[in-house]
Amino acid sequence: MRIAVTGSIAMDHLMVFPGRFAEHLVAERLRTASLSFLVDRLTVRYGGSGANIAYGLGQFGLAPVLVGAAGSDFDAYQLWLKQHGVDVDSVLVAPGARTARFVRTTDADLGEMSAFHAGAAGAACTISLRSVVARVGGLDLVLVSSNDPATMLRHTEECRGDGIPFAAAPSRQLARMSRSDVQFLVSDAQVLFTDEYESTLLQERTGWSALGVLERVGARITTLGRDGVLVERAGRAPVVVPAVPDLVATGPSRAGDALKAGVLAGLAGGAGLQRAAQLGCALASLALEASGPQEYTVDRRRLYRRLLDTYGKQSAIDLAPALAGAVPQEQP
């Protein structure tokens, strides 16, 4: 199964402030606030939703095609993705521009201040999926993940026009888009990915009820944090797939990106949607235990054991084909 992932490519600059933001905010001065913090830790990670999801799929040997734009500083990142099984030949490198930057500072209360600079990402709207299809000889699925809204709409339109199945993961871009654009973006998606907040926002932006959304997509997967994942299809009873229990998060995981990669890897391996969601949760658990969104490795035996312990023997057996192309280890 050849999958293309369209979405952002970014460098994440993650800082930790040992104090509390609230102690530096003066209610009477919020309109003219000027804040400066001395942070005691800075970590730079490879990130961006599209790249994170492609990284996860690459771990399963699926050679996902990453479609997005990066800057002239992309060389080291490009090599990293290649080494982890991602086809980066459809990434547009914009000369003179920098790869997108995400800057986040968290405090002792887990409060967060963030900023995002799109950089080269805006050039992604010039990429045609038709050129990608011509290069790789066809696509079985396109995941349209968070990116510049114009880019997301163009790729969705091309999928519809050329009959390419697509999945949608619009994320927080929903807030920036008009009602008609959001309706266009998600209608007819084989799988729609949202978290709980995005699910509510999606209904508000489309004007559709929860059932109305479900009737317009093949399936809907809603992440529930520690409670796992809600899997819904029209005409069928919803199913909650529990998360892997007793995890200790060690860093900024972007576990939702890993979950999407695991779900798509499960579907590519021929699993049903519920089993694919179980694989997604298992992969997300590896990301949660890692120090960054592209710092985990899919060890075949370890992931098999996690599926076995959490979801039972039949789940591990059913998902074994999806694990076949993962990091070469002895079969369990």
Q: Is residue 327 part of a domain?
A: no
113-127, 231-245, 251-265, 318-332 — most confident range = 231-245
Give the CATH number, domain containing residue 190. Answer: 3.40.1190.20
Vertex 49: Cα angle to 155 and 53 (nearest 5):
90
Over residues 2-16, the pLDDT tens digits come to: 999 999 999 999 888
Instruction: Answer whether residue 117 shows pLDDT above 80.
Output: yes
Q: Is residue 331 part of a domain?
A: no
> Which sign, positive or negative, has the C-alpha torsion 292, 103, 43, 74?
positive
Query: Has 257 been annotated as catalytic?
Result: yes
- Domain residues for 228? 3-24+39-321
Confidence band of 175 (pLDDT split at 50, 70, 90): confident
Can you tell me the distance from the alpha carbon of 152 to that of 155, in angstroms, rounded to the nearest whole number? 5
Give the model's pLDDT for residue 331. Answer: 42
For residue 102, the cross-strand partners are 12, 116
Token digits of residue 15 = 């800082």
Tell me whether residue 313 is exposed, middle or buried, using C-beta atoms within 10 angstroms of its C-beta: 0 to 12, 13 to 18, 19 or more: exposed
Over residues 259-289, the pLDDT tens digits come to: 999 999 999 999 999 999 999 999 999 998 8
Q: Is residue 85 part of a domain?
A: yes
Q: In terms of DSSP bridges, do strands 3-6 and 141-145 run parallel, antiparallel, or are they unpaired? A: parallel
Q: Is residue 7 part of a domain?
A: yes
| Phi, psi dihedral angles at 75 (to 5 degrees) | -55, -55
Q: Is residue 34 part of a domain?
A: no
Q: Is residue 32 part of a domain?
A: no
Token digits of residue 259 = 């979950």
Alpha helices in 59-209, H assignment, sequence order: 75-83, 129-136, 149-162, 179-186, 196-206
Q: Of the residues 148, 181, 257, 318, which is catalytic? A: 257
Number of Cβ within 10 Å of residue 80's Cβ equals 15
Number of Cβ within 10 Å of residue 103's Cβ equals 15
Total domains present in the chain? 1
Can you tell me the distance from the alpha carbon of 94 to that of 79, in angstroms, rounded to the nearest whole number? 17
Confidence band of 72 (pLDDT split at 50, 70, 90): very high
Q: Is residue 245 part of a domain?
A: yes
Q: Is residue 69 part of a domain?
A: yes
How would you label 207-224 residue by residue, b for 16+ Cβ within 10 Å and e otherwise? ebeeeebbebbebbbbbe
Over residues 320-332, the pLDDT tens digits come to: 999 998 865 544 4
Asked if 295 contacts 80 with a C-beta cutoff of 8 angstroms, the reply is: no
